[in-house]
Amino acid sequence: MEKRRDFLGYSFATIATVGVGFSLIGMKKAWDPLPSVLKSGFTKVNLKQLQIGIPFTTMWRGKPIFILRKSSLMKDSPRDVIINNKRYIIVIGLCTHLGCIPAWKKDKWQCACHGGIFNYNGVNVFGPPPRPLDFLPFKVEGDNLILGEKGKEYKKLLALNNQ
């Protein structure tokens, strides 16, 4: 009788362990991002295509990204990213007030929703936006900018701007 009871106990423990294992595998698969999400996590931008003083807009994870190659007339800023001796501003193109998309007007970004103005460095200079345009993670590889990956230039930018 005792041997039968031991056998049933071991059998139950084995079945429970296998069930827990399959449950953990299923939960991990449910938590992992889909391959399409992983693929859309990075955007590659060739910096050679950018014109001086004219912002380039691309999308990253459904958000507009503003990349501005600064002209020599534009003042230096701690928000500048220096790549091959050229200065760039790389920011998420969403107003920090309510998330509207500002439009480029001559030398600044203007938000039509509530009149917020950001200068060419992405710093709020007028209106209700509470802070400058936000940075996004990026990495520099030669003449290419990889949006979504944290490179040394991004970490340096955050350190200089205390974000």
133-155: pLDDT as tens digits: 999 999 999 889 999 888 899 88
- Find the domain containing 16 and state its range: 2-32
32 pLDDT above the threshold of 80? no
| pTM, entire model | 0.74
61 pLDDT above the threshold of 80? yes
pLDDT at 36: 64
142 with 98, same domain? Answer: yes
Q: What is the mean pLDDT of residues 119-140?
A: 92
In 3-state terms, the chain is what percent helix, strand and coil (to 5)? 30, 30, 40
Sign of the four-CA dihedral 72, 118, 54, 49 = positive
Mean pLDDT of the chain: 88
Which CATH number goes with the domain that contains 94?
2.102.10.10
23 with 52, same domain? Answer: no
Domain count, the chain: 2
pLDDT at 134: 93
Query: Which residues neighbour 57 within 8 Å (Cβ) at sequence distance 6 or greater?
Result: 64, 65, 66, 67, 93
15 with 94, same domain? Answer: no
- Work out the pLDDT band at 37, boundaries 50, 70, 90: low
28 with 49, same domain? Answer: no
In one letter, which amino acid is 59? Answer: M
88 with 111, same domain? Answer: yes
Tokens of 104: 């480029």
